[in-house]
Structure 1
């Protein structure tokens, strides 16, 4: 059962708020919808991804990881590559955007891992 504040002892750390716990009514449909929200819209055209949520989780994992690496690379290089083309305030805003996007993608990557595990039948057991 979820607690307010995003902490739930029955779910692994990183479980997305948009996905109900495994075993809940329609949890797999919620997981599939959440995973599809993480990938390009064109992925919805692939029936195989709808039929096999574990495969969708794999596609989402690969896509999110690539986005995270791109955000990290952008953060590392934007100052050098655009130093002469952006004013200081725009550069600061760009760095902040990369940091926020990186944090969002890192959280999504963790969510994909735990949701994908649940779709494969893995059950999380909290450690004391």
Structure 2
């Protein structure tokens, strides 16, 4: 099995493995809105799909960070304390998930462009 860089998504087979690009495309499409599947150009050019996924994930991460920073101020008078705590936890988890997805998109995108990761000793 080929070595994969840190952050490589579990759902994507290693570069060079049979059908690895197919698994990369499926994973990338799972990160973007379903309507993106209607764009033939994204199915035809996985490197472009990776670019779209990068931008979409980055926007979601920024939204989660913004929500975490502002939810207390905006909704403090409208939510009970336990709901506010749950909201903060949800923003933290979503931020962590999106940060991991962003790392995954970066390494998958590099592999789609033909870059190969070499582990350092």
Q: TM-score range by the shorter chain?
A: over 0.9
For normalisation by structure 2, the TM-score amounts to 0.98
2:83 to 73, 90, 109: 90
2:33 to 35, 40, 59: 40
For normalisation by structure 1, the TM-score amounts to 0.93
**Which ranges of structure 1 fall in alignment gaps of 5 or more residues?**
3-9
1:49 to 31, 42, 47: 42
The answer as to 2:23 corresponding to 1:30 is: yes
Q: Deviations over 1:33-76 (max 9, x none)?
A: 00000000000000000000000000000000000000000000
Tell me the CA shift for residue 127 of structure 1: 1.3
Distance 1:125 1:80 in 2: 46
Matches within 5 A, 1:83-122: 83-122=76-115
Distance 1:123 1:25 in 2: 16
Write out the 4+ residue segments of structure 1 that deviate beyond 2 Å after TM superposition. none
Matches within 5 A, 1:75-86: 75-86=68-79
Distance 1:125 1:22 in 2: 12
Q: Deviations over 1:65-114 (max 9, x none)?
A: 00000000000000000000000000000000000000000000000000
Distance 1:92 1:127 in 2: 42
**Which ranges of structure 2 fall in alignment gaps of 5 or more residues?**
none
Distance 1:95 1:51 in 2: 39
